[in-house]
Amino acid sequence: MPATQLEVKNLSAGYGATRVLEGVSFSVSAGARLAVLGRNGMGKTTLLATLAGQTKRYEGSISLGTTDVTSMPSAARAHKGLGYVPQARCIFPTLTVEENLFVGLKGRPKNSLEEAYGMFPRLKERRSNLGSQLSGGEQQMLSTARTILGRPSVLLLDEPLEGLAPVICEELMAAFAELAKTGDMTILLVEQRIQSALDFADRVIILERGRLAWTGTPKALSDDHDAVERLLGVGGLH
């Protein structure tokens, strides 16, 4: 399905009685790339989990294009085009790489696996390996590829570079950039590697204690030294 606009209005959510997000509103145009930044514990992962239907929502609405998915369970949101790659690399450790990828096909023909192998040639080399035999970077590639095979119209990526070697990070970001160039997916990226996120995105939001504290372009953020230091805790960006 083609890329879809994501619209979030006055979203408040959390876990049980604990409110993490408060009154968050933003929209992402179809095919656009949004970086979600902020220091640890400020609500970034909770935001993506809420969009995917995995937290308790107190207020607000979430729309994919013209479809209000606010009250839909996670599986229904996925069916409507929402793809979610969580921070925990959710692969099946006792299945091979190829078997893991079959799960993501969602009824598409078997030869569609070549899309995943084209994006991540490393997975093709290891297609007979078990998930448990992969490195952390390869598991991240597998988790990402499996989600992308379902052709989501909105893709949520939660810290895909966490704990990975620089060369793997470069491979992943290059794959995300190629994916974004097609315009077929609207992509939200939560990432602690700030410069990588800014190089990728065309818009940025920053969360501070569960609230929207800054929004703008990557260049505007790079030029706003006060915001960078105050909201991200770093002295400057290159």
pLDDT digits (tens, 9 = 90+) for 72-121: 999 999 999 999 999 877 899 999 999 999 988 888 889 999 999 998 99
Task: Assign 209 to helix, strand or coil.
Answer: coil
Domain enclosing residue 111, as ranges: 6-232
pLDDT at position 84 is 94
Q: Is residue 82 situated within a structural domain?
A: yes
Q: Structurally, how many domains does the chain consist of?
A: 1
**Looking at the domain assignment, is residue 214 inside a domain?**
yes
Please indicate, yes or no, if residue 73 is contained in any of the structural domains.
Answer: yes
Distance CA 149, CA 116 (A): 7
**What's the pTM?**
0.92
Q: What is the dihedral of CA 221, 224, 229, 230, to 10 degrees?
A: -90
The pLDDT, as a whole number, for residue 20 is 97
Q: What is the pLDDT of residue 237?
A: 60
In the prediction, which pLDDT does 238 show? 53
Is 76 part of a structural domain of the chain?
Answer: yes
Q: What is the CATH number of the domain that holds 170?
A: 3.40.50.300
Q: Is residue 1 part of a domain?
A: no
pLDDT value of position 164: 86
pLDDT of residue 108: 86
**Low-confidence spans in the chain with pLDDT less than 50:** none
pLDDT at residue 15, rounded to an integer: 95
